[in-house]
Structure 1
């Protein structure tokens, strides 16, 4: 069934009585049979009574009340106030629970509806669980939900309530003991009336993220002062710009406190650590929150990314039931206490990016039998060989392991990140269970390890930015069928790319083999990579004609072949469906000849209108599942999932410098055909690519005039036509390109006055050098009487509608001998958004100037 925007008709709302919606009416008992009397018959065997059963020997009939008519009506009204939208819920097991809500046949009793729980004695609705139900719409102040005054448990998590506010009428649900509105796109101030729900045991308002108007609490004290029965308080992502009140420390019933990403500041009350029943404490990502650790009782503590300082108390080792300890990105110092080795139940330990002494280089992690996730730095790793699954120690100054060559000892390892360190020697050999393997930006040497060919589980392999030598082994074709990312760039690999390395049905989405010494042709087996989105082969010695057959790849968006030995003319495509998704192509610094390919320009539809697209980055995401392996006397135990988020990166030239861009905007469109031997005129069909932001056709042998069709490139930000044989005047229409930040037409044979107005008034002399026939501002040469300045766009009688209201991010522009990179790097980072367990694949250091 199609669940996309299915609209459900809304009946009338019940009347409002005394500020809350009226109570549901009591069903009539004056009708004939049991069903009509408002009772439902269940055949059950006492004791104890079963909810469902079959009539048989020793069984008796008992009657349970039907759902009250007024309550079933309120539920239906609530259902009909929403769309069903498959994008409204993120949980992979989400489904539309309200689809079963119908007043007909066997489903007329609302107590049998999915997500509805009724009291067996009274028939009143006491529980409603519509979490992950694809609900999309707003909760307003008159919501029929507020008439369900007998509710004790309400769970609406993981839906999309369209940035509406929590109604103050929530106070009408005074019997609530559990309220979960997490991950539901709610905004604004949390109503103070929630504090009237004095029976609450669990309150979850977490992860309602909106940067413009986040869910917020003006006073945490006012919220919790009446909630004396509260055991669980989850407020992560709620904006609470205040200090943590001492009243929390007086709520002795609390077992879980989650205040992550809340904008809290000041001293963290030490007394909270002493709460007698506290099991979970999370206060991470509050950068202005300070404090130190005393003895405390919680079995799960997440305090990362704060401003905590001081030493770790040795009494931490007394918390033998502690399962999670995350204290990374703080200012803790001193020695890491060896007593942590007593934490036999610990599954996650994250202490990285603090100021601990170097004396902890041989911590006995082998004594932590359940440890599955380790985030650390500056130590020798001796984790348990059976259970260690995640090791992330990137961005430190580690130099190596105890033994070399290294066969990593963790038999269950799935995620290894040692990138951006100073590891030396050969590549560590991961176990066959490894899914993500990142060793980039180190000083590793030697040949490509053939043992990696045995990694049958790999999805992401990044060996970039090392000094690996030798050839790419043919056996890499035997690696995981699930491999998504392959990055071997910035090494010293040589020889040809094996011709049959890319197998049929390959799932590869990104291949980067740039900045090596690879030779030979482009392997035809790449045509098997039907999911390929990015192919980067630049800065090698590949010798071939233009691989037009790559145009059959239906998802290819980025093609970089720069700085190789490609040659010959680019022939017309065999069909108008070639390269249907292409948005970035860099063929610069090769030996291509002949005319620029006009037929390709006509058919590259993905380079046409892209303005207004949502800001996204090229990449992919997946879920990794983790479980403890089976032992001699135990079965495998499921631990959980962790998001694998991978953003594609690309190294391109900006102002003559090789630079790594860690993210590529999906809407970015660029063509670089510079430094080749192209001849002839600029094709009119270039003007069809109206989404083009960067165009570089400099350093060729182009002749004729500058095509006025380039004025159709309304999003153009950088245009380089320099060092050709172009003649005639600069078209005045180019002055209407209001986003044009960089223009270079130097060293041609242009004549006449330079256009005026808009961006042309910002360009310097260097943009026009080497054209003796040009005159006018900014050049010192004045135009003669016969050389009148071109009329301004406003005087032409043309009513050109320019883009308006387009949100333009900061542009880092440049021009030079390579691709003019106008990548929009306006990535707004916030510590109040997602927990990034997996950092960007291909993350690099600063700009590399490798060649």
Structure 2
């Protein structure tokens, strides 16, 4: 009898687990109100209020399968000749009535330089918020910092129109945050020496941090680089100065992508950076005071993209270390003092699709084997000859 009851309970749970709730009528009404307050083109959101009555099946909508409440709204705008195929004077107020929303993506929409509404803080269940390329302006409301469940936040690419007064204070409640992208956002950093340490302390779970083109300045400190879970770091095109130290790059680092180009870094590029076991992208180009003195024996590397353009090489080392960078897809060495003959070993880089040797003193021939790869784009200084 007990076994029969257990089987019956398992059967009921299986049936219940397989059922999927339809969209609630109240939720459908909210979506239609949102649509009424947007300017749409190219058929966007045509399914909303169309032949399909279940709004869980409408474009960009995700529902909780048990309750029917909307938990995801993925509405990325697409660029058109005029602006975007989803536009509006502001985020429609009805959106803030989707109280169970967890994922919100309005990237690429055109909100006409309006401010980010503080009412977003009412969506307390949000874990993913993407407002990149959405043409907001002004101060990012402090209320957003109350969204303590955020795992991913992207406010990037508003071309300097957004401002956050206190970056560390803004993110202090985001203990679960893994992805923070704020390229082009302006910050007022009160402590230029400690901001990195304070940010690392506030966001211990970061996987990806992107703060490019933010007019940041000061000396880089090791704290950001040594976050235990960090996989991608982009601090490019700011005003950071000082040296990159070997202790920035512990051997247990999980870094896969590092962008530091366009700063004012100086000193020697640490060889330890080439020994990071997972690093695939390294871009430190156009730091004019940075020097590269690579060891004659580099370990076999996973690097796929390497940009050392615009920095000074100490010694003729190209032919020595290039042979171990067998995974390279893109190699940027333009505007460097490299000289001598071009090593034929470059032709052995089987995956190479982009090679920039422009504005160097290299001489000789571009190997026939390299040029025979139709996918390879080669940019070279006019003194180089092409052997076809």
**How big is the shift at 1:281?**
0.5
SS at the partner of 1:74?
helix
With over 3 angstroms needed to count, the CA separation of the structure-2 counterparts of 1:164 and 1:61, relative to structure 1, is closer
| Preserved contact between residue 390 and residue 415 of structure 1 (Cα < 8 Å) | yes
Q: For residues 553-581 of structure 1, give each alpha carbon's deviation from its aligned partner in whole angstroms, at most 9, with x where no partner exists.
A: xxxxxxxxxxxxxxxxxxxxxxxxxxxxx
**How big is the shift at 1:270?**
1.3
| Preserved contact between residue 289 and residue 307 of structure 1 (Cα < 8 Å) | yes
- The 5-angstrom pairing of residues 610-759 of structure 1 reads none
| Preserved contact between residue 206 and residue 229 of structure 2 (Cα < 8 Å) | yes
**Structure 2: which 5+ runs fail to align?**
1-10, 79-84
Q: For residues 765-806 of structure 1, give each alpha carbon's deviation from its aligned partner in whole angstroms, at most 9, with x where no partner exists.
A: xxxxxxxxxxxxxxxxxxxxxxxxxxxxxxxxxxxxxxxxxx
Among 266, 280, 303, the alignment partner of 2:218 is 266
Among 270, 281, 289, the alignment partner of 1:313 is 270
With over 3 angstroms needed to count, the CA separation of the structure-2 counterparts of 1:303 and 1:413, relative to structure 1, is same
Q: For residues 337-393 of structure 1, give each alpha carbon's deviation from its aligned partner in whole angstroms, at most 9, with x where no partner exists.
A: 4565522x2110001111231332324323223211011141645334421110112
Q: For residues 84-121 of structure 1, give each alpha carbon's deviation from its aligned partner in whole angstroms, at most 9, with x where no partner exists.
A: 246xxxxxxxx72x11111x54x122111111111111
**How big is the shift at 1:79?**
1.3
Among 39, 58, 63, the alignment partner of 1:118 is 63
SS at the partner of 2:361?
coil
**How big is the shift at 1:302?**
0.6
Among 363, 370, 375, the alignment partner of 1:409 is 370
CA distance in 1 between counterparts of 2:366 and 2:145 reads: 61
- The 5-angstrom pairing of residues 273-422 of structure 1 reads 273-293=225-245, 294-296=248-250, 297=253, 298-330=255-287, 331-338=289-296, 340-343=298-301, 345-376=302-333, 377=336, 378=338, 380-381=342-343, 382-383=345-346, 384-394=348-358, 396-401=359-364, 404=365, 406-407=367-368, 409=370, 411=373, 413-418=375-380, 421=381
| Preserved contact between residue 349 and residue 374 of structure 1 (Cα < 8 Å) | yes
| Preserved contact between residue 115 and residue 129 of structure 1 (Cα < 8 Å) | yes
CA distance in 1 between counterparts of 2:146 and 2:243 reads: 32
Aligned residue pairs total 353
**Structure 1 residue 207 corresponds to structure 2 residue 170:** no
For normalisation by structure 1, the TM-score amounts to: 0.39
| Preserved contact between residue 167 and residue 188 of structure 2 (Cα < 8 Å) | no
**How big is the shift at 1:288?**
4.3
SS at the partner of 2:71?
strand
**How big is the shift at 1:168?**
0.7
| Preserved contact between residue 312 and residue 337 of structure 1 (Cα < 8 Å) | no
| Preserved contact between residue 335 and residue 356 of structure 1 (Cα < 8 Å) | yes
| Preserved contact between residue 129 and residue 152 of structure 2 (Cα < 8 Å) | yes
**How big is the shift at 1:215?**
1.3
| Preserved contact between residue 163 and residue 186 of structure 1 (Cα < 8 Å) | yes
| Aligned match of 1:72 | 28
**How big is the shift at 1:334?**
4.3
CA distance in 2 between counterparts of 1:277 and 1:126 reads: 28
| C-alpha RMSD over aligned residues | 2.5
CA distance in 2 between counterparts of 1:408 and 1:200 reads: 50
CA distance in 2 between counterparts of 1:120 and 1:406 reads: 59
| Preserved contact between residue 323 and residue 348 of structure 1 (Cα < 8 Å) | yes
| Aligned match of 1:130 | 75
| Aligned match of 2:114 | 164
Among 186, 197, 201, the alignment partner of 1:239 is 186
| Aligned match of 1:775 | none
- The 5-angstrom pairing of residues 583-622 of structure 1 reads none
**Structure 1 residue 147 corresponds to structure 2 residue 97:** yes
Structure with greater helix percent: 2
With over 3 angstroms needed to count, the CA separation of the structure-2 counterparts of 1:225 and 1:63, relative to structure 1, is same
CA distance in 2 between counterparts of 1:288 and 1:386 reads: 36
With over 3 angstroms needed to count, the CA separation of the structure-2 counterparts of 1:334 and 1:367, relative to structure 1, is closer
| Preserved contact between residue 196 and residue 224 of structure 2 (Cα < 8 Å) | no
CA distance in 2 between counterparts of 1:262 and 1:291 reads: 20
